[in-house]
Amino acid sequence: MKPGIHPAYEPVVFRDSASGTVFLTRSTMTSEKTIEWEDGRTYPVVDVEISSASHPFYTGTARVLDTAGRVEKFQRRYGAR
């Protein structure tokens, strides 16, 4: 990689505002706010509205669509042709 053209890739804490979950990862995002992590170090914290901890797809609370009704409607409309 060319030096000096890439953003800094450093540890950052992401805090999910919907569930309160916090996790430490590496990112190019930065923030003026900081948080002290479990290891005693201070990291920038980025607040996000939704993450895998609160998203319906990952938590298993996603709605199930009535696909049988859609198939029956399609059959009624186009099946007899």
Tens-of-pLDDT digits for all 81 residues of the chain? Answer: 688 899 889 999 999 988 889 999 999 998 999 999 999 999 999 998 888 777 766 666 666 666 667 778 888 888 766
Positive or negative, the Cα torsion across 52, 58, 63, 69?
A: positive
Identify whether the C-beta of residue 40 lies closer than 8 Å to the C-beta of residue 74.
no
Identify whether the C-beta of residue 58 lies closer than 8 Å to the C-beta of residue 19.
no
What is the chain's alpha carbon radius of gyration, rounded to the nearest angstrom? 22
Identify whether the C-beta of residue 45 lies closer than 8 Å to the C-beta of residue 37.
no
* pLDDT at site 80: 63
What whole-number distance in Å separates Cα of residue 37 and Cα of residue 22? 10
